[in-house]
Copies of this chain bind each other. A is one copy, B any other.
Amino acid sequence: MNYMKEALREAGSALSKNEIPIGAVIVKNGEIISRSHNMCEEKKNPLLHAEINAISDACRILNSKYLDDCELYVTVEPCPMCATAIGLAKIKRIYVGCEEPKTGALGSVINIEDHMPWHNEVYFGFCEDECKGLIKSFFKDKR
C-alpha cells in the first residue's frame, strides 16, 4: 500500500475545505492507525496541523503516550512545532513528501533533532511532485 498516496488524499480533503493542503498518516505494522489533515481554519486553532492531529488520534486509539513502533507519512516537511511533537511521541521513522524551504524543521530551515535528545530517521521525496504541486497551487490561488 502506498501510504504517501493516503496522506495525499488527506491533503486533498484539506484543500477542498480551503485549508493549507497537507496530510499525514500514521502506520503501525503496515496498518493505518490514524490519518488527518490541517484543520486550522475549520477549528479556528492554529495548532491543528496534520501531524499534531494524527499523533493525538493515534495516541488515543492505541491508548499510549508513545508511538515508538509507528511510522509517520506527511506530505510536506514539518514545522518546528510538529517536528518536536514527532520527537516527543517517539516516532522514529518519518517519510516526507517534499521539503518546506521556509519553515521546515527536519533539515531545511533548522533540524530540531540537532537540539533535542532524540534521533529520527527521515526520508524525503515520496510523491514529491504531487505534494509540492498541491501546496503551490493553493498559494498561487490565494494571491
Complex: chain B residue closest to A55, CB-CB:
B47
Nearest chain B CB to A103's CB is how many angstroms away? 7
Q: B60 contacts A45, CB within 8 Å?
A: yes
Instruction: Mark A residues whose CB is within 8 Å of B.
Output: 40-41, 44-47, 52, 55-56, 59-60, 63-66, 79-85, 88-90, 102-103, 105, 109-110, 112, 115-117
Q: A116 contacts B88, CB within 8 Å?
A: no
Q: A116 contacts B80, CB within 8 Å?
A: yes
Dominant SS at the A interface?
loop
Complex: chain B residue closest to A104, CB-CB:
B115
Q: B84 contacts A80, CB within 8 Å?
A: yes
| A139→B41 CA distance, assembly (Å) | 39
Across the interface, A80 reaches (CB within 8 A) one of B44, B56, B65, B81, namely: B81
Nearest chain B CB to A68's CB is how many angstroms away? 11
| A116→B105 CA distance, assembly (Å) | 10
Complex: chain B residue closest to A86, CB-CB:
B81
Q: A65 contacts B81, CB within 8 Å?
A: no
| A14→B53 CA distance, assembly (Å) | 23
| A121→B65 CA distance, assembly (Å) | 33
Nearest chain B CB to A55's CB is how many angstroms away? 6
Q: B47 contacts A85, CB within 8 Å?
A: yes
| A64→B47 CA distance, assembly (Å) | 12
